[in-house]
Chains A and B, each alone.
Chain A
Amino acid sequence: MKPAVIVFPASNCDRDAAVAIEKICGVKPLMVWHGDSTLPDVDLIVIPGGFSFGDYLRCGAMAARSPVMREVVARANNGTPVLGICNGFQVLTEAGLLPGALMMNAHLKFVCKDVALKVESNQSMFTSAYQTGEIVTYTVAHHEGNYFADDATLDQIEQNGQVAFRYLDNPNGARNDIAGIFNKERNVLGLMPHPERMIERDLGGDDGARMFESLVASL
């Protein structure tokens, strides 16, 4: 397995992602700076959480136009798995790799807490170690996690089975309780909750570990 974590100015979950990958996948990921226009040959790309570029203009908007993202988009379109967590999810929608957009939480407050999620499908390289329909606990920490897509796009997402995770108790107003979605090919996953913060019981839970176990099994 050859994973990479992309680092933007003001990413702040890049090291958490690296620790989770190293601990569970047994490989130290490459840390790739956003200004690089080349990307080594990797088989997993993680876009971490944080506040890339200070959330200027819109969350993820600047990061999505970084030099390295051209290469990330090209790799994703060629089938390389790409995982976007929190700000990473925002970046993936801004980059056009996932449909919809993440808007300010409906109640206008930052939300930081553990949330229960339903795993909508284990038919993906990110979720194969879960059971479809299983309830897991991840942490959310965001101000702009309110998933929005127009009616036609939402219908398509649902019909294609692109919803990966749904909130049991919606913390941000996301349409259809959507916490995370796949692209149509299911090699790209974006989600607001943080699996990398739930990798061992001493840290509050280990439900997130299985996302990385799923990736180990597939790659």
Chain B
Amino acid sequence: MKARVHVTLKSGVLDPQGRAIQHTLGSLGFGGVSDVRQGKYLELDLAETDRDAAERSVKDMCEKLLANTVIENYSIDLVE
């Protein structure tokens, strides 16, 4: 099973990189982008075959390492 994990900055946290990307998009002529938030995407290959157990395990990984929950949110998608 694969786990696809997105880690993103919480909404109250400033994202200067996102702002710089938005600015550059604007200078390339891509108008109408009102905000850009940059995050991380991680793909994990899991030996676990039970969906609930996999979800619990990846959630634990996010809490303990993959995300810093002081500043980041995470979401998990499991793919067979």
Residues of A near any B CB (own CB < 8 A): 57-58, 61, 65, 93-94, 99-101, 103-108, 148-150, 173
Q: Please tell me if the beta carbons of A108 and B20 are within 8 angstroms of each other in the complex.
A: yes
Q: Please tell me if the beta carbons of A58 and B20 are within 8 angstroms of each other in the complex.
A: no
A107 to B14, CA, bound (A): 12
Q: How many A-B residue pairs have CB under 8 A?
A: 35
A101 to B68, CA, bound (A): 8
User: Residue B44 at the A interface, CB < 8 A?
Assistant: no
Minimal Cβ-Cβ distance residue in A for B40: A57
Q: Do A101 and B17 contact each other (CB < 8 Å), given the known contacts A57-B66, A61-B65, A65-B65?
A: no
* Distance of A173 from chain B, by nearest CB (Å): 8
* A residues near B70, Cβ cutoff 8 Å: 93, 99-101, 148-150
Q: Please tell me if the beta carbons of A103 and B71 are within 8 angstroms of each other in the complex.
A: yes
* A residues near B71, Cβ cutoff 8 Å: 101, 103, 148
Sample 18 A-B pairs with CB under 8 A, ordered by A number.
Answer: A57-B65, A58-B68, A61-B65, A65-B64, A65-B65, A93-B70, A100-B70, A101-B71, A103-B13, A103-B14, A103-B71, A104-B17, A105-B16, A106-B14, A108-B20, A148-B70, A150-B70, A173-B14
